[in-house]
Amino acid sequence: MATNFPGTDDTAATVGGDNLPAPSTSLNEDPAVSNHPSHSDLHENVGDAIRAVEAKIGTGASTPATNTVLTGTASGTSGWATVDTAMISADAVTGAKIADNAIDSEHYTDGSIDRVHLVADIIDGTKLADDAVDSEHYVDGSIDRVHLAADIVDGTKIADDSIDSEHYVDGSIDTAHIGDDQVTQAKIAPGAVDTTELAAGAVETAKINDDAVTSAKMAATVAVDTAFSVGTLTASRALSTNSANAVDFYRSTATTTEGIIVGRSDVGGAGSNKFIVYANGDVGTSTASYGGISDVRLKDVLGLSGDRLAQINDMEVIKYRLTKTTDDEGNIVDLDAPSEDLLGFSAQQLQTVAPGLVAEGEHGILNVKVSVLIPMLVKAVQELTARLEAVEG
């Protein structure tokens, strides 16, 4: 109850006179009886009672402010005071006593809000401070692709050796993603590199294994614009070989008129044929002439030749058909068909007459040096001429 307490005791003078009734005087309901107290008497009695309470609680007259209560102390003083936390009993303020939106951040004690006080799903991204969530706050396996921002995982976030082939999208690795010199021979599947994968001029002689280029790998026409060599190059030669192995020319043809080796030059006409080694072994030239190196400056002349007529007469000229040949290993094998009829010699018979005309070739096959017969025939003719002149003379 809010009221103004009197500051002094009420008297007959302050309430309009009248003496106070004697203490033993009882109230009478009959207003005609003279011992009934008057209004002033009652007012004085009430005032006295109030003053007695004031004296008891130790306060004087005052006007209470809004939201104040009368308080007292053990010293006997009291007064009107604003309600503060000291006046509230422990656990006295429940949720029902707190107005909506009345509690702000300043009302919380540091660390007083724990998980029990948080409503489920109440903390969203707007409530988290930047850089506040660390790895220790994540539940194992809780971060999936939905939670990752686009392009957020860069190389620094990926552990070494953690990406396997199953993580790549088909066709996602292009040349820009492959480091220099990373594709070794072990990474290239057999038969995977075709001509389309090779840059122009990328294959050089150092990259080609010995004996790797077979006839099947050679184009039908090979143009040699500059010098080409096997082994050490001979100066000023367009084609040069330096090897312990023979130079092999092979043409797969059954026609004897086809050339195995064809020599051409611009002498007498641009690109005209000058000599041909035919498929059957015949040799033809545009001039029908053959020559051998015979400069005397290159020779140590031992004297004139002796008689050769007797040797010539001992040579057996045979008629034959060629029915066999040798393969690459030197084995004697049958020809698919015999040759036409030919004239020639038996190398074995010539060895008994003129051993110098016979030479042993590859795999022990004997050859006749037919060109050496020319000077022997010349000498034999000279002998016949001398005999004829002696007869005629």
3-state secondary structure 158-220: CCCCCCCHHHCCCCCCCHHHCCCCCCCHHHCCCCCCCHHHCCCCCCCHHHCCCCCCCHHHCCC
- Residue 12 CA to residue 37 CA, distance in Å, equals 13
DSSP 7-24: SS---TTTTT--PPPPTT
**Could you tell me the pLDDT band of residue 22, with boundaries at 50, 70 and 90?**
low
| pLDDT score for 3 | 44
Helix (H, G, I), strand (E, B) or coil at 253: coil
CA-based end-to-end distance of the chain: 189
- Residue 175 CA to residue 183 CA, distance in Å, equals 11
For the chain, the domains span 1-102, 302-392
Tallying the residues shown for the chain, one arrives at 393
- Which has more confidence, 41 or 194? 194
* Mean pLDDT estimate for the chain: 78
Determine the average pLDDT of the residues in 189-213. Answer: 81
Determine the average pLDDT of the residues in 217-239. Answer: 61
**pLDDT tops 50 at residue 336:** yes
CB 378 within 8 A of CB 385: no
CA angle 285, 291, 295 (to 5 degrees): 160
The whole-model pTM stands at 0.41
- Of the candidates 17, 9, 14, 16, which has an alpha carbon nearest to the alpha carbon of residue 45? 9
Long-range Cβ pairs for the range 281-288 (8 Å, 24+): 282/256
- Of the candidates 252, 246, 212, which has an alpha carbon nearest to the alpha carbon of residue 330? 246
Q: Which amino acid is at 162?
A: S
**pLDDT tops 90 at residue 343:** yes
**pLDDT tops 90 at residue 311:** yes
